[in-house]
Amino acid sequence: MKCDLCERDATVREVTVRNGVRVERHLCERHAAEAGIKVTASQPAPGVPTPGGAGTQVRSSACPTCRTTFAEFKQHGLLGCAACYQFFEKQLAPLLERAHDGLSQHRGKAPARGGRPTPADSAVAEVEARSDLLKRLKSELERAVKAEQYERAAQVRDEIRRLCEGTEGQGEGCTGR
């Protein structure tokens, strides 16, 4: 039996009755400790590799921001960055629901900014977004030239030129003109 929250073996089974409904949780040592459940000596030691775990490996894509894979998360139960929550939202929601007594929609305080970026953040983000786009366009241009799609290549070159206009002085890498 796997831990409800990660890929390790569940060493603790906790059964509680809430509102007349039986709730059963299976947790590994780490997550049981986090949840305040005491692990007694008779239960298996932590860190024992999951038998057969290798065979069930899922080919998973990585968080675009921090490169954490879902398999990695399942292995140690920790996420890599804020973007992980968005990227793995579908897989995370049922796990969070189990860990939080059936609930998975936040209620309560929100940051005054509502998580919106500070002016400094948006300036950084803008520059980053532009350089990302530029990189993508350049590789597309390369591909189009290689495939001898000259019409497409001309379109992409125009796009690159447009992107680089108005960014004089910071148009680092704008060699597309």
Q: Do 31 and 77 contact (CB within 8 A), yes or no?
A: yes
> Of the candidates 123, 124, 129, 133, which one interacts with other proteins according to CB under 8 A?
124
Residue 105 interacts with other proteins (CB under 8 A): yes or no:
yes
Which partner, Zn ion, other proteins, none, binds residue 3 by CB below 5 to 8 Å per kind?
A: Zn ion
Beta bridge partners of 17: 22
The footprint of Zn ion (CB under 5 A) covers 3, 5-6, 28, 31, 63, 65-66, 68, 77, 80-81, 83-84
Buried b (16+ CB within 10 A) or exposed e, 45-61: eeeeeeeeeeeeeeeee
Which partner, other proteins, Zn ion, none, binds residue 107 by CB below 5 to 8 Å per kind?
A: other proteins
Please count the CA atoms within 13 angstroms of the CA of 10 that sit on its side-chain side: 13
Q: Do 28 and 45 contact (CB within 8 A), yes or no?
A: no
Nearest by Cα to 84 from 107, 67, 98: 67
Residue nearer to Zn ion on the CB measure, 71 or 83: 83
**Taking the complex as a whole, how short is the minimal distance between the CB of residue 58 and other proteins, in angstroms?**
18
Residue nearer to other proteins on the CB measure, 95 or 141: 95
Nearest by Cα to 25 from 91, 93, 103, 99: 99
Write out the binding residues for other proteins, residues 53-72 only, by CB under 8 A.
Answer: 65-68
Which of these ranges, 78-86, 136-144, 154-162, 165-173, lies near other proteins under the rule CB under 8 A? 78-86
**Taking the complex as a whole, how short is the minimal distance between the CB of residue 31 and other proteins, in angstroms?**
7
Which backbone phi and psi does 2 adopt, to 5 degrees? -85, 155
Taking the C-alpha atoms of residue 130 and residue 123, their distance in angstroms, rounded to an integer, is: 11
Binding site residues, other proteins, CB under 8 A: 5-6, 14, 16-18, 30-31, 33-39, 65-68, 75-82, 85-86, 89, 92, 95-96, 99-115, 117-118, 121, 124
